[in-house]
Homo-oligomer: A and B are copies of this chain.
């Protein structure tokens, strides 16, 4: 498969912390214009788990209403509650989205693999027809997507199980999944892993920092196997390192705000706090972001 960059676009908020669909669309269009292959909105970086089902539907409608091709959108649709997952997945599939990025139900911990298989199966059967991208981010969800679960779901739904986003940060685990499931499009969550991901047969990346550095990451993808690969990898890794040790989502939003010269992008919903613009880390991130073409 041709490697791709899908951006987990941030969700901008108005002063009253309602979703700012105008800036959501502006940012999404800027990301695509900068070379992103597509968008993976309403995931972790998008603060989607702080949004109601209605807000997520309206947000996706705004992107579609602005003319963004649904075949370039993989919205997050996995919620704690099965009826919510069904509603969002059906909406995404009926809109013609490339697929639905599904978290496992994430409140209850230590549940059996067979129970998770039931949850995904009922979500898929309840939502209709479309592609599923499984979302493995155990450090947030507390509920891992295991190889056994993937195997069960492929056994039940075949090619509808289209891919997986591996946000675990565990490259050995990602590599094992790519080898075990060659038919799945497996994305890493870090652009630094793109060369290894693609060499192993992976699909590319869906990375938070792509909100700040879409051009650089696209350049790396296009440079794979050429003389420019090393320099491109060094650029994306340098941008990514800026955010290490900072609260990721507020800092990414502060950097986008600096890049666009629009402080509104820095707003976050609780339980996050806005990044302290006077903090040393955020000042570095903002300065570096300002030097990155948006």
Do A51 and B140 touch (CB < 8 A)?
A: no
A55 in contact (CB, < 8 A): yes
Q: Is A271's beta carbon under 8 Å from chain B? A: yes
The 8 A-B residue pairs with the shortest CB-CB distance, nearest first, are A49-B107, A119-B270, A118-B270, A115-B271, A111-B271, A52-B83, A115-B273, A119-B271
Chain A interface helix/strand/loop/mixed: loop
| Chain B residue at smallest Cβ distance from A107 | B49
A112 within 8 A of B: yes
Let me know if A114 and B272 touch, CB within 8 A. Answer: no
Contacts of A114 in B (CB 8 A): 273
Number of interface residues of A (CB under 8 A): 42
Which residues of A87-138 are within 8 A (CB) of B?
87, 104-109, 111-112, 114-116, 118-119, 121-122
Q: List, sorted by A's number, 17 A–B pairs whose CB atoms are closer than 8 Å.
A: A17-B82, A44-B107, A49-B108, A50-B108, A51-B83, A52-B81, A52-B87, A55-B81, A82-B269, A105-B271, A109-B140, A111-B271, A114-B273, A115-B271, A115-B272, A116-B271, A143-B271
Give Cα distance in the complex from A269 to B107, angstroms. 13
> Is there an interface contact between B82 and A272, defined as CB atoms closer than 8 Å?
no
